[in-house]
Amino acid sequence: MTAPGGRFSDLTVRTVSGAVIALICVLVIEAGGVAFTLLVGAIGAGMMWEAHRMLADPPRPDAAIALAGAVLAALILAGNIELSWMLVIGAAALLAAWLTPPRRLAAALWVAAILLASLGIIRLRVSDGVVWMYWFAAVVVAVDILGYFAGRLIGGPKLWPVVSPKKTWSGTLAGWAGAVAVGAAFAGPTGAGWVLLPLSLFAAMAAQAGDLVESAAKRAAGIKDASGLLPGHGGVMDRFDGMMGAGLFMVALRSADLMPGM
């Protein structure tokens, strides 16, 4: 049997680091505007820097920095100038493919996904308001926290051991339950009503899918963490992969004109 301390050996550092990240995010969500765009851009840039290091052979520091800068610049441009999202994303994807041999297609797909999800999150805050942004963040955080604790306290069958050996069905189901509870709490404030419950469940599934995709990428690269930028969490991608998955879900929802409460 695993000792309790072993199950939560990273909990203290993870909690302190997570609290600092949460405080920064709350302050920036409240501020909105340029500050919010810059935060999302910084997260996207960090993820692209890590993606280059995972995909390139050999990785080039100058190329990784260039791609990170390109992601940040693309988000700022798309948020402030009347440019097509697809034009910005396409240009960044071509740059990623050029700078990331031999996995050029994978790099292009990574930058496209990061930019599309980031733009979707920025649009959520700008167009739908701070309450919707808090709902979105709360769903992803609930999935992460409940999945972490349920997986370690309950354990049980693994979700997909070939891709992510630590993830369990108990953690997955706990995350879904937490997301539905978040949906119930925000049904009134968002004006969406009870339709927000299944919507929260689908957003949770998308967040978990983002987590699994990142786990598969790390496994293919033979690494445990995307980087060591965030103590207790690993890399930026390790912390915000769920946000990116859920962000892509929100883009799909808006594209299909299915956003409730508008």
Q: Which two tokens stand for residue 131?
A: 């309450």
> CA-to-CA distance for 159 and 147, rounded, in angstroms?
11
Asked whether the predicted pLDDT for residue 113 surpasses 50, the reply is yes
Given 94, 109, 128, the domain boundary residue is 128
**Distance, CA of 45 to CA of 111 (rounded, Å):** 9
Whole-prediction pTM: 0.91
Same domain, 79 and 93: yes
Final residue before a domain boundary, out of 128, 159, 192: 128
Residue 1 has pLDDT above 50, yes or no: no
Q: CA-CA distance, 5 to 125, in Å (whole number)?
A: 39
| Residue 7 pLDDT exceeds 70 | no
The answer to whether the CB of 214 falls within 8 A of the CB of 237 is yes
Output the six-digit token pair for 146.
Answer: 């409940």
CB 132 within 8 A of CB 124: yes
Q: What is residue 3's predicted lDDT score, i.e. its pLDDT?
A: 45
Beta bridge partners of 143: none
User: Are residue 133 and residue 261 in the same domain, yes or no?
Assistant: yes
Which value, to the nearest 10 degrees, does the dihedral of the CA atoms of residues 20, 22, 24, 26 take? -150
Q: Which of 186, 178, 224 is nearest to 205 (CA)?
A: 178
Residue 52 and residue 42 share a domain: yes
Is 111's pLDDT higher than 80? yes
Q: What is the mean pLDDT of the chain?
A: 89
Q: Are residues 142 and 52 in the same domain?
A: no
Same domain, 152 and 227: yes
pLDDT band of 9, cuts 50, 70, 90: low
Instruction: Check whether residue 185 and residue 96 sit in a common domain.
Output: no
40 within some domain? yes
| Residues 242 and 258 both lie in one domain | yes
| Same domain (yes/no): 114, 156 | no
Per-residue pLDDT for 146 more than 50?
A: yes
Question: What's the domain range around 146?
Answer: 129-262
Residue 171 has pLDDT above 60, yes or no: yes
- 7 in a domain, yes or no? no
pLDDT of 231:
81
Write out pLDDT tens, residues 70-105: 888 888 877 655 557 788 888 899 999 999 999 999
For 115-138, the pLDDT digits (tens) are 999 999 999 999 999 999 999 999
Q: Where are the beta strands (DSSP E) in the chain?
A: 158-160, 164-168
Q: What is the pLDDT of residue 167?
A: 87
Q: Is residue 166 part of a domain?
A: yes
Q: What is the 3-state secondary structure (H, E, C) of 51-111?
A: HHHHHECCCCHHHHHHHHHHHHHHHHHHHHCCCCHHHHHHHHHHHHHHHCCECHHHHHHHH
